[in-house]
């Protein structure tokens, strides 16, 4: 049971670790007694590495993926650095789930375009898997994925499946192609040409990636005619509590941890600090 | 897991930072439970060159210091610069403002040529440094926090915020409000604002914060009655060394 | 609200009584030429004629640094939240700080209630006191001078006597420890006169109504005032650390030297410090000092007003007094009222 | 007879870098000397052009161990130069600070730097498991010294509150009272220290030399640390302003650095010099300890410097109790510390743990330093250390190389040298 005090983490166990790239690893995490986290796609947890600190990490698995959940973590600093040295059986602290994720019920019945840049694919994987598991609830399904180089791509074996999967249009590109790379080259926006005709009013675009990416991708969504309220962006900010108190994640008047991390473009369009 | 092995070395300095380590009287025995100290000339005769972390105090001021420092770098997994002398040449760099010859002459008169000495430099002009514990002297708690951070795999704390932050949290009377010029607003914190807490202005021994607004600070100090000349001297008690300086 | 009077000479024995009854009584005491809130060991220490304390009394509801969780290190980690509180009385709280506590109550109760703050708050008796403004005070521009809620009892110095506004049950209980008489209309009239006189003492004033600032700020995101202030600002964070309505914090894990256990500690943090909005991917969402000054200003006069209909600056003047480069929200507000952005455009 | 060829590079458990070289040939001593290999730091040059209020903060960085002593010598010099008379309260508090430093430094030296030799180990670290009680006691006593500094000057290494003509912040009387209580509580630990050292037999060495220290001015009854004239055991006394006639720092043609010389070929400063010169002024409690340690003035064995430190520690502990009483009885008052900088030259002489220390400055009328000079105890002792080594080696020449090396190192350590602080001692090589 989540303790009454919102600052107290549950003790969770790492069940498996998978190296995705030299700087990213995926961790399968089990809560005490195999309890479910009870999250929705797009939500995040506050993950404790004891003695090091806490960091907000998106849940990269769908609630339909089973009782355990997955975290994909890029090594950038203290918490993320030390968690990279951890092995199955090691313990983490988990608080959450927190935040406002992707409104899957509202998305049902619509065409979905996922736009993922780099590590942005991690939070989106939760909703991607959710859609695959409830495929018939959704219309046309497109994934647009960009990475810096082929080796930076996350979930490589899953990508292999998506490439072959007739239930999804999977488009990918790398900024800097290598000689072995057979696919597209160039930044992610170049893929929008390949999207073809869509029914904009019936389409939702779900976007996550590095801060520089949003502006351009949202422009492209606009070109496709997707209404602002149908563009959902998951944003990153510094966070210390996840509860709308510590102030770090504020985007103008909104708190990324409470009102987001997933926002509609309508919500953030007029916010000077959002994108 | 075997205990990490740590070693202490010094170059041109007052050894006050190492003394600060010895001054952790309450913690020393616990510290020894966590690490093995294998070299510490100021306090021990045993000297082992097999260590994980080297804490280096003091500035580089002579050619002959360089090979010794490089040997330390080769032996250590991590090199941590301790103190202002080691991290930014500190007080030793005051003399960089005058030709080495002049400094020698002031102190040794016509015997000046008997000494080998060059510019005073921080150790990172010679080797790669993995972390810094700033201050003249280092703060004891800061030293212990750094050791702990390294042991759990974190980077050493960098305290990249001005001394004023800690000064305010300690609820000191700001010296500026009583007319004493203070370097707190541009100096890196982590010392718990010890100088202002004892009624004395911060003199910048921890170096500048990375986004120091020096221009505005100068104007502010001028308003408090210092001349530009006073200010620039004040700012160079510890912060004389400019990274661009090549050694002579 | 019940209004009573006590003899001025009884104030001291009243405080002495409180010190006997409560585990902790805090009040304003001298520190050099300044005043700080500190634990009162005896009634004589309290210095009631003061302008502003360095840190606001909020430090007894949300300390500069507090342990929020204790943990054991792996292999078998344990985590247990920590909430420390005791019955406490804060005496000598000025109307601006009372209002600030009211605002904090709103924040800490709203959304995800903050246990640590709320428990402490629930065990706190607040005894307010009226004050005399100096040249840095501007509460008259941002709030009502008459203090009507947020305290348990409130004292107004009427000369030989002290008017006691008793607002809560806790207040009633506290005041019953000392002899008081019901206030007469003369007393109340005197209080009105004092407030009227106080109004005239303010030299720092907004040139427009603070409630209109959210509207005035529209279109002034790029106003020159931000860059001007940004050039001056030293990013020292003092303005936000002394502010009674600021509540941002940082959280760190601090290990015991044994490295077998540790405390998770929350400490005051501030949006004017350079690294406040820095994220791991290398982006600083408010890189320029001017953007940070603008953010702070908006937090005081727009964002919270939009969501809570309350201005989050009480005009206490602390940030002005402590800013080494004298950045102050009166000057900024008055420049906002001037709509310089449009003049430029 | 084995011949010795000893070169100890960077003698350990001393402050700063020094080497010992000893060479014998067919039983004849060719070389026995202490070489300083410290890098020059040019403090006097750094002071030139600096304002009066910056000088103390610069010169305390000469040495971390006697930072308070440097600060006090510096303040006294600046005050002498600008004709400032600090108040009695200031002087009393400064004396407490200096005593704190003596306690911290003497216990650091006796326990951490010297004792391991007597107990046959390389450092105090192995003692942490074999003699835990001794180490705990040593840490406790050292901490007491540190806490005295912390209470009055903020921290021991580079003291904060010490200022020209007063303090930037006065200590809290309650804290001072608490310190006094701790000194009283530490007396049994000090007693135990005496017991420990009374079981130790220092190596033999007899060499008469000149002893220089502060001595009482005009019949003062105080064992002088902070105040007094400069006196020589060979009879002569000077005002501090004439310190240059005492140390005669001169460039000896044979050597490459300034060395000191008074009447005898070399002279000694430090705990034993003070003990020899001022024995009569020791408190009775300390005299009793001297007796217990079999130490009589004058004593001519430099290894006994360590023993003299133990005696002084006892003296200082009792003196502290009285000094704090005096300060608290009079009550600590805020004072006006303002002063007007003015032109002048002045010197300060203070007894720091390792011996007499001189600072001297010349200021212009704006209080900008024009010239500075600092003469450190170890600088004054260097010649004497070498003379001692020359006397020692022939008496132990039959011992093994290790033993000779150890005895030489112990001799050097007895002086508790502060090499990095010896501003004028660069590359001293006795060829
Ligand atoms: C909602 C949300 C979801 C997220 N999801 C994921 C996810 O799924 N996977 C993932 O890998 N990451 C995710 N992140 C990002 C992740 O939270 C950060 O990378 C993480 O907090 C970094 O913590 P750390 O302790 O490892 O790094 P830190 O040690 O805190 O620092 C990281 C870097 O920033 C620098 N730095 C830190 N603080 C400062 C400062 N004040 N000033 C200057 N430099 C500073 C450090 O030097 C270092 O280079 C998410 C973030 C949010 C808000
Ligand atoms: S005294 Fe110095 S460090 Fe403290 S707040 Fe004032 S300027 Fe900053
Ligand atoms: S913003 Fe300034 S004046 Fe307003 S409440 Fe905060 S500290 Fe007081
Ligand atoms: S107190 Fe002034 S200088 Fe410091 S951060 Fe605030 S506005 Fe900037």
The CATH number given to whatever domain includes residue B147 is 3.40.50.700
pLDDT, averaged across chain D: 88
| pLDDT band at B248; cut points 50, 70, 90 | very low
Instruction: Decide if C64 contacts C28 (C-beta within 8 A).
Output: no
Q: Is the dihedral of CA D78, D83, D86, D92 positive or negative?
A: positive
| pLDDT band at C343; cut points 50, 70, 90 | low
Compare all CA atoms of chain C with the CA of B223 and give the residue at the minimum distance. Answer: C325
What pLDDT was estimated at residue A182? 86
Split into its structural domains, chain A has a count of 2
Compare all CA atoms of chain B with the CA of C267 and give the residue at the minimum distance. Answer: B169
CA nearest to A252, candidates C217, B52, C92, C197? C217
Q: DSSP string spanning C103-170?
A: HHHHHHHSSS--HHHHHHHHTEEEEEE-----TT--HHHHS-SS--SS-SEEEEE-SSEEEEEE-SHH
Which of B168, B169, B171, B174 for a ligand 2 pocket mutation test, highest count of atoms within 8 Å of Cβ? B174
Average pLDDT over residues D167-192: 94
| Residue A9 parent element (H or E) | none
Average pLDDT over residues A127-132: 93
Residue D63 vs residue A61, higher pLDDT: A61
The CATH number given to whatever domain includes residue A157 is 3.40.50.80
Other C-beta atoms closer than 10 Å to the C-beta of A161 total 12
Contact between chains at B160 and C274 (C-beta distance less than 8 A): yes
Contact between chains at B153 and A77 (C-beta distance less than 8 A): no
Closest ligand 4 atom, residue B164 Cα: 4
Average pLDDT over residues B122-147: 93
Average pLDDT over residues C232-248: 94
Q: A234 and A126, same structural domain? A: yes
pTM of the entire structure?
Answer: 0.89
Instruction: Pick the ligand that lies closest to the CA of residue C245.
Output: 3
Q: DSSP string spanning D346-373?
A: EEEEEEETTEEEEEEEEE-TTSBEEEEE
D56-93 in b/e form (b: 16+ CB < 10 A) is bbbbbbbbbbbbbbbbbbbbbbbbbbbebebeebbebb
Q: B141 and B18, same structural domain? A: yes
CA nearest to D18, candidates D29, D6, D31, D8? D8
Q: Which of A224-228, B46-50, C323-327, D378-382 has the lowest mean pLDDT?
A: B46-50
Residue with tokens 């079999």: D294
Residue C239 in contact with ligand 4 by CB distance below 6 A = yes
Split into its structural domains, chain B has a count of 2
Residue with tokens 């001037």: C338
Rg (CA), chain D: 21
pLDDT per position as a tens digit, C252-287: 999 998 899 999 999 999 999 888 888 877 788 888
Q: DSSP string spanning D266-290?
A: SEE-SHHHHHHHHGGGS-HHHHHHH
Average pLDDT over residues D226-253: 85
Flag whether residue C106 sits within 8 Å of chain A, measured between CB atoms.
no
Q: DSSP string spanning C312-331?
A: S-----HHHHH-TT---HHH
A70-90 in b/e form (b: 16+ CB < 10 A) is bbbbbbeebbbbbbbebeeeb
Instruction: Pick the ligand that lies closest to the CA of residue A123.
Output: 1
Q: Is residue A1 part of a domain?
A: no
Q: Is residue A3 part of a domain?
A: no
Q: B133 and B46, same structural domain? A: yes
What pLDDT was estimated at residue B246? 40
What pLDDT was estimated at residue D252? 55
Q: Is residue A275 part of a domain?
A: no
Quick one: DSSP state of residue C303?
I
Percent helix, strand, coil in chain B, to 5, is 40, 15, 45
| pLDDT band at D257; cut points 50, 70, 90 | low
Instruction: Pick the ligand that lies closest to the CA of residue A96.
Output: 1
How many Cα atoms sit within 13 Å of C25 on the Cβ side?
20
B115 → closest Cβ in D58, D62, D427: D427
Q: A137 and A174, same structural domain? A: yes
Residue with tokens 């001189």: D358
Q: A120 and A83, same structural domain? A: no
Task: Note down the domain range covering A76.
Answer: 10-98
Q: A202 and A137, same structural domain? A: yes
List the beta strands (DSSP E) in D146-265.
Answer: 162-163, 166-167, 210-215, 229-232, 237-238, 250-251, 258-259
Which of C329, C331, C332, C333 for a ligand 3 pocket mutation test, highest count of atoms within 8 Å of Cβ? C329
Other C-beta atoms closer than 10 Å to the C-beta of B77 total 12
User: Would you say residue B144 has pLDDT above 80?
Assistant: yes
| Residue B54: partners with Cβ closer than 8 Å, 6 or more residues away | B6, B7, B8, B9, B72, B73, B75, B76, B78, B79, B80
| pLDDT band at D428; cut points 50, 70, 90 | very low
Instruction: Decide if D429 contacts D255 (C-beta within 8 A).
Output: yes
User: Would you say residue B143 has pLDDT above 70?
Assistant: yes
B125-156 in b/e form (b: 16+ CB < 10 A) is bbbebbbbbbbbbbbbebbbbbbbbbbbebeb
Q: Is residue A132 part of a domain?
A: yes
Residue D426, phi then psi, degrees to nearest 5: -115, 130
Q: How far apart are the C-alpha atoms of A50 and C73, rounded to whole Å?
A: 6
What pLDDT was estimated at residue B126? 93
Which of C94, C317, C326, C332 for a ligand 3 pocket mutation test, highest count of atoms within 8 Å of Cβ? C317
Strand, helix or coil for residue C222: coil
Average pLDDT over residues C21-41: 94
Q: B70 and B47, same structural domain? A: yes
Residue B52 vs residue D41, higher pLDDT: B52
The two tokens of residue C228 are 């001007």
Q: B168 and B97, same structural domain? A: no
Q: Is residue A4 part of a domain?
A: no
Compare all CA atoms of chain B with the CA of A50 and give the residue at the minimum distance. Answer: B152
ipTM for the whole complex: 0.89
Q: B22 and B81, same structural domain? A: yes
What pLDDT was estimated at residue B61? 86
Q: How far apart are the C-alpha atoms of D271 and A181, rounded to whole Å?
A: 79
Strand, helix or coil for residue B210: coil
Residues of A with CB below 8 A from C251's CB?
A: 53-54, 240-241, 246
Quick one: DSSP state of residue D163?
E
| pLDDT band at D427; cut points 50, 70, 90 | very low
What pLDDT was estimated at residue D259? 77
A8 → closest Cβ in C69, C73, C295: C69
Q: How far apart are the C-alpha atoms of D393 and D375, rounded to whole Å?
A: 29
Q: How far apart are the C-alpha atoms of C40 and C18, rounded to whole Å?
A: 10
Q: How far apart are the C-alpha atoms of A53 and A80, rounded to whole Å?
A: 10
Q: B200 and B129, same structural domain? A: no
Residue B61, phi then psi, degrees to nearest 5: -130, -5
pLDDT, averaged across chain B: 86
pLDDT per position as a tens digit, D81-96: 999 999 999 999 999 9
What pLDDT was estimated at residue D256? 47
| Percent of chain D whose pLDDT exceeds 90 | 55
Q: DSSP string spanning C20-64?
A: HHSSEEEEEEEETTEEEEEE-SSGGG---S-S-BSS-GGGGTS-S
Q: B231 and B145, same structural domain? A: no
CA nearest to B161, candidates B198, B134, B200? B134
| Cα C188 to middle of ligand 1, angstroms | 57
Residue B204 in contact with ligand 2 by CB distance below 6 A = no
Q: A139 and A180, same structural domain? A: yes
What pLDDT was estimated at residue B114? 56
pLDDT per position as a tens digit, B84-117: 999 998 888 887 777 767 776 776 666 666 556 6
Q: How far apart are the C-alpha atoms of A209 and A236, rounded to whole Å?
A: 9
Alpha-carbon distance B242 to nearest alpha carbon in chain C (angstroms): 21
User: Would you say residue C77 has pLDDT above 70?
Assistant: yes
Residue with tokens 């003899």: C7
Q: A128 and A70, same structural domain? A: no
The two tokens of residue C110 are 């709203």
Closest ligand 3 atom, residue C314 Cα: 5
Residue from B18, B42, B84, B225 whose CB has the most chain D CBs within 10 Å, to mutate: B42
| pLDDT band at D405; cut points 50, 70, 90 | confident
Instruction: Decide if D7 contacts D21 (C-beta within 8 A).
Output: yes
| Residue C262 parent element (H or E) | strand C261-268
Residue C327 in contact with ligand 3 by CB distance below 6 A = no
User: Would you say residue D343 has pLDDT above 90?
Assistant: yes
Q: Is residue A2 part of a domain?
A: no
- Domain edges within chain D: 53-68+85-336
What pLDDT was estimated at residue D425? 47
pLDDT per position as a tens digit, A79-110: 999 999 999 999 999 998 999 999 999 999 99
Q: A88 and A224, same structural domain? A: no
Instruction: Decide if B22 contacts B137 (C-beta within 8 A).
Output: no
Q: Terminal CA-to-CA distance of chain A, rounded, Å?
A: 37
| pLDDT band at A1; cut points 50, 70, 90 | very low
Percent helix, strand, coil in chain A, to 5, is 30, 30, 40
Strand, helix or coil for residue A168: coil
Last residue of some domain: A78, A98, A118? Answer: A98
The two tokens of residue D357 are 């220390």
| pLDDT band at B245; cut points 50, 70, 90 | very low
Q: Is residue B72 part of a domain?
A: yes
Q: Terminal CA-to-CA distance of chain C, rounded, Å?
A: 52
Q: How far apart are the C-alpha atoms of D136 and D142, rounded to whole Å?
A: 10
Q: Is the dihedral of CA A247, A248, A253, A258 positive or negative?
A: negative
How far is residue C14 from each of residues A61, C4, C43, C49, D11, measured CA to CA in Å? 62, 14, 8, 17, 68
Q: How far apart are the C-alpha atoms of D4 and D27, rounded to whole Å?
A: 9
What pLDDT was estimated at residue D430? 46
Q: A172 and A52, same structural domain? A: no
Q: Is residue B202 part of a domain?
A: yes
What pLDDT was estimated at residue D279? 95
Average pLDDT over residues B177-201: 92
Q: B197 and B229, same structural domain? A: yes
Strand, helix or coil for residue A171: strand
Q: A254 and A151, same structural domain? A: yes
What pLDDT was estimated at residue B247? 39
User: What is the second-level CATH architecture of the domain D53-68+85-336?
Assistant: Orthogonal Bundle (1.10)
How far is residue A92 from each of residues A75, A240, C125, measured CA to CA in Å? 16, 17, 40
Average pLDDT over residues D291-319: 94
How far is residue D182 from each of residues A11, C298, D135, D144, D177, measured CA to CA in Å? 45, 54, 18, 7, 9
Task: Note down the domain range covering B114.
Answer: 5-151
Q: Which of A76-80, A86-90, C188-192, D411-415 has the lowest mean pLDDT?
A: D411-415
Q: A156 and A90, same structural domain? A: no
What pLDDT was estimated at residue C48? 92
What pLDDT was estimated at residue A81? 95
Residues of B with CB below 8 A from D51's CB?
A: 230, 233
CA angle D188, D193, D198 (to 5 degrees): 125
Q: B126 and B201, same structural domain? A: no
Last residue of some domain: B116, B151, B186? Answer: B151
The CATH number given to whatever domain includes residue A14 is 2.40.30.10
Q: A112 and A248, same structural domain? A: yes
Q: A43 and A110, same structural domain? A: no
pLDDT per position as a tens digit, D134-160: 888 988 998 999 999 999 999 989 999
Q: DSSP string spanning C57-115?
A: GGGGTS-SEEEEEEEEPTTS-EEEE------EEEEEE-HHHHHHHHHHHHHHHSSS--H
């Amino acid at each position: 049971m989540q303790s009454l005090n919102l600052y107290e983490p549950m003790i969770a166990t790492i069940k498996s670790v998978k190296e995705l790239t030299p700087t990213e690893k995926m961790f399968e995490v089990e809560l005490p007694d195999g309890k479910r986290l009870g999250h929705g796609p797009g939500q995040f947890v506050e993950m404790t590495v004891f003695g090091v600190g806490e960091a907000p990490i998106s849940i990269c698995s769908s609630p339909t993926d089973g009782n355990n959940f997955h975290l994909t973590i890029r090594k950038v600093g203290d918490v993320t650095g030390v968690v990279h040295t951890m092995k199955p059986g090691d313990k983490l602290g988990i608080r959450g789930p927190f935040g406002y994720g992707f409104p899957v019920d509202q998305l049902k019945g619509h065409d979905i375009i996922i736009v993922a840049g780099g590590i942005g694919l991690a939070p989106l994987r939760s909703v991607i898997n959710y859609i695959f598991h409830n495929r018939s609830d959704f219309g046309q399904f497109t994934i647009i994925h960009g990475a810096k180089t082929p080796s930076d791509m996350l979930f490589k074996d899953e990508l292999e499946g998506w490439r072959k999967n007739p239930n999804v249009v999977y488009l990918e590109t790398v900024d800097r192609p290598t000689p072995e790379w057979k696919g597209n080259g160039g930044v992610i926006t170049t893929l929008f040409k390949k999207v073809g005709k869509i029914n904009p009013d019936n389409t939702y675009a779900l976007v996550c990636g590095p801060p520089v990416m949003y502006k351009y991708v949202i422009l492209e969504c606009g070109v496709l005619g997707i209404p602002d309220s149908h563009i959902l962006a998951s944003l990153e900010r510094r966070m210390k509590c996840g509860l709308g108190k510590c102030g770090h994640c504020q985007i103008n008047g909104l708190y990324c941890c409470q009102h987001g991390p997933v926002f509609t473009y309508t919500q953030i369009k007029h916010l000077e600090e959002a994108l | 897991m075997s205990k990490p092995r740590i070693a202490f070395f010094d170059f041109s300095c007052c050894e006050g930072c190492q003394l600060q380590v010895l001054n952790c009287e309450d913690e020393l025995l616990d510290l020894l439970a966590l690490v093995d100290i294998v070299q510490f000339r100021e306090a021990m005769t045993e000297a082992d060159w097999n260590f994980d972390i080297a804490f280096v105090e003091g500035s580089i001021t002579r050619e002959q210091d360089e090979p010794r420092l490089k040997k330390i770098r080769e032996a250590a997994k991590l090199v941590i610069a301790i103190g202002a002398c080691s991290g930014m040449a500190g007080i030793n760099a005051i003399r960089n403002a005058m030709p080495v010859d002049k400094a020698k002459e002031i102190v040794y008169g016509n015997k000046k040529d008997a000494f080998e000495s060059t510019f005073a430099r921080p150790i990172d002009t010679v080797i790669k440094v993995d972390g810094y514990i700033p201050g003249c002297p280092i703060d004891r708690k800061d030293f212990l926090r750094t050791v702990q951070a390294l042991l759990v795999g974190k980077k050493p704390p960098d305290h990249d915020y001005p001394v004023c932050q800690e000064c305010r949290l300690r609820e000191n009377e700001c010296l500026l409000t009583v007319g004493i010029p203070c370097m707190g607003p541009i100096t890196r914190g982590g010392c718990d604002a010890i100088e202002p807490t004892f009624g004395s202005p911060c003199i910048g021994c921890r170096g500048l914060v990375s986004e120091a607004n020096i221009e505005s600070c100068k104007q502010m100090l001028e308003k408090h009655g210092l001349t530009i000349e006073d200010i620039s001297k004040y700012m160079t008690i510890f912060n004389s060394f400019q990274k661009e300086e090549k050694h002579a | 609200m019940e209004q009573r009077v006590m003899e001025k000479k009884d104030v001291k024995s009243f405080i002495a009584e409180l010190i006997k009854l409560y585990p902790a009584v805090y009040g304003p005491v001298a520190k050099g030429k300044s005043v700080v809130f500190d634990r009162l060991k005896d009634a004589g220490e309290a210095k009631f004629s003061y302008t502003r304390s360095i840190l606001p009394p909020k430090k007894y509801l949300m300390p500069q640094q507090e342990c929020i969780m204790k943990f054991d290190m792996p292999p078998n980690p344990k985590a247990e939240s920590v909430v420390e509180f005791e019955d406490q009385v804060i005496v000598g709280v000025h109307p601006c700080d009372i209002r600030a506590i009211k605002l904090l109550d709103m924040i800490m109760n709203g959304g995800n209630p903050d246990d640590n703050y709320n428990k402490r708050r629930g065990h706190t008796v607040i005894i307010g006191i009226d004050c005399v403004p100096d040249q840095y005070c501007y509460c008259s521009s941002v709030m009502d001078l008459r203090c009507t809620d947020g305290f348990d009892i409130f004292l107004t110095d009427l000369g030989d006597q002290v008017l006691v506004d008793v607002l809560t049950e806790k207040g009633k209980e506290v005041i019953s420890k000392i002899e008081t008489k019901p206030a007469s209309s003369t007393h109340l009239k005197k209080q009105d006169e004092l407030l009227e006189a106080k109004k005239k003492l303010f030299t720092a004033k907004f040139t427009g109504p603070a409630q209109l600032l959210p509207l005035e700020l529209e279109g002034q995101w790029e106003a020159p005032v931000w860059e001007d202030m940004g050039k001056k600002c030293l990013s020292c964070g003092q303005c936000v650390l002394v502010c009674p309505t600021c509540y941002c914090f940082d959280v760190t894990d601090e290990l015991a030297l044994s490295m077998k256990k540790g405390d998770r500690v929350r400490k005051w943090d501030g949006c004017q410090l350079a690294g406040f909005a820095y994220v791991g991917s290398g982006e600083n969402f408010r890189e320029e000092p001017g953007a940070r000054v603008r953010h702070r200003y908006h937090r005081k006069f727009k964002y919270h007003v939009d969501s809570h209909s309350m201005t989050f600056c009480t005009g206490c003047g602390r940030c002005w007094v402590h800013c080494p480069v004298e950045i102050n929200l009166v000057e900024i507000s008055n420049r906002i009222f001037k709509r310089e952005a449009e003049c430029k455009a | 007879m084995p011949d010795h060829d000893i070169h100890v590079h960077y003698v350990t458990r001393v402050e700063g870098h020094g080497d010992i070289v000893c060479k014998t040939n067919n039983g004849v001593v060719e070389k026995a000397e202490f070489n300083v290999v410290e890098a020059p730091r040019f403090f006097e040059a750094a002071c030139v052009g600096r304002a009066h209020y910056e000088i103390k903060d610069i010169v305390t960085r000469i040495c971390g161990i006697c930072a308070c002593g440097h600060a006090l010598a510096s303040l006294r010099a600046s005050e002498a130069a600008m004709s400032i008379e600090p108040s009695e309260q200031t002087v009393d508090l400064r004396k407490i600070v200096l005593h704190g430093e003596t306690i911290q430094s003497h216990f650091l030296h006796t326990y951490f730097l010297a004792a391991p030799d007597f107990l046959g180990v390389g450092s105090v670290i192995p003692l942490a498991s074999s003699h835990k009680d001794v180490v705990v006691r040593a840490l406790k006593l050292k901490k007491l010294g540190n806490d005295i500094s912390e209470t009055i000057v903020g921290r021991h290494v580079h003291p904060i509150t010490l200022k020209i003509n007063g303090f930037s912040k006065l200590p809290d009387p309650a804290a001072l009272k608490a310190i006094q209580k701790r000194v009283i509580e530490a007396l049994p630990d000090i007693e135990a220290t005496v017991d420990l050292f009374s079981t130790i037999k220092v190596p033999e060495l007899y060499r008469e030399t000149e002893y220089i220290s502060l001595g009482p001015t005009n019949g003062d009854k105080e064992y002088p640390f902070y105040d007094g004239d400069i006196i020589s055991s060979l009879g002569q006394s000077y005002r501090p302003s004439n310190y240059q006639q005492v140390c005669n720092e001169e460039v000896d043609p044979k050597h490459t650095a300034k060395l000191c010389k008074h009447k005898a070929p070399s002279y000694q400063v430090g705990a034993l010099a003070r003990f020899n010169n001022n024995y009569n002024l020791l408190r009775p409690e300390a005299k009793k300890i001297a007796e217990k340690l079999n130490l009589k003035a004058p004593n001519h064995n430099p290894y006994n410097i360590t023993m003299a430190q133990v005696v002084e520690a006892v003296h200082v502990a009792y003196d502290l109790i009285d000094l704090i009483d005096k300060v608290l009885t009079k009550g600590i008052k805020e004072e006006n510390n303002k002063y007007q900088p003015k032109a002048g030259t002045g010197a300060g002489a203070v007894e720091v743990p390792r011996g007499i220390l001189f600072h001297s400055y010349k200021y212009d009328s704006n209080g900008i330093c024009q010239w500075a000079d600092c003469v450190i105890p170890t600088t004054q002792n260097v010649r004497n250390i070498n003379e001692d080594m020359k006397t020692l080696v022939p008496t132990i020449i039959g011992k093994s190389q290790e033993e000779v090396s150890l005895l030489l190192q112990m001799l050097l350590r007895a002086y508790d040298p502060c090499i990095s602080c010896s501003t004028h001692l660069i590359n001293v090589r006795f060829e």
